Structure 1
């Protein structure tokens, strides 16, 4: 626990400390944190689930599966999470013409852009230009929410649906062929194809 003000992260870790080496779904953790936080500050905490993910990224929690984490005192090792240094971030933006590499929108379109790690730091990625890409807020969120392959399939599905509306047969064919590759390798079958 930190000295002074008790943080959301403090309350999360307090709960995990009480349940070492247990696989805990994030629902009960969030409920516990909300109850304690309201007692302390008379208001609801913000984004508790995001703080759980950050504690995992920092090496304090183990992600068992989506939405389930474990605290193991024998394995927990705190590591600093580092964002891209500002000069590297600027080089990434400049290389990508200050536009999202997925949708092509950028600041000129009134869209916030982010420097995103292609390979996340917790998976061995680095803060180098070649490991960075420019994403808009929407696509940055999608990438963090879904795995890269899920994100890719959802993006192709969206392209396919837009091509159908526009009557762009060439793009429809392109998207179907990519979706066929997903099927061939049995990747992300839980995401239903719009054309089947």
Structure 2
């Protein structure tokens, strides 16, 4: 009997505490609503919010997932770089990435201005208004500050790329996985590298190196066969004189804007090629 009495008292105590807490919470909510209506500071913040709301831009997606599993073997999987995969995606989707970076950079700058404006604009409500509200002055100013510095606008200032690669052995006995997450600032670093690389690739020096790299051993054999192992200037042929050294040459030199298309390549003997230097011999011959 005594134990039931004690349990009953405890239950009544718990119910009493719940009721008191509810009433206290309800009363505080009512006071806060009244403060929101009367507060000069909160009205000022609402105006600041309106002024900045249209400045912040939205993104349809704040993350991107890139998944790779096209591997023919473990070595291919191990040699595959997620960093390079991210680099390639950014490089190939320049318009999309530039738009994302522009929006986030803009939002970051306006967020800084917004927060500075909020901080410097806070001024407590006039005392006469507080007294007329019949809310204790200390409580009014406490809640006013809490409400003012809460519920900030949170613009999109982050974009992430989730990269992962996976390889499962043919028998399915072993599987290998690797994952990385690139944050906005990491993406920005890669993008800056891409911009520098594009400048280099657009340079004349890069163009010349690239064009020369296209003259592979396979291309050389193809040109020699097409020209029948014969110098296209003097007519000497390797078939008639095995000691002749033949070169693959650019009709229009790379230094003068020529490329490595097959139509701009021909066979010259060493003597003609050295004598030609960077002249456009085809113009002279024609």
> So what's the TM-score if we normalise by structure 1?
0.34
Larger Rg: 2
Q: Give the TM-score taking structure 2 as reference length.
A: 0.24
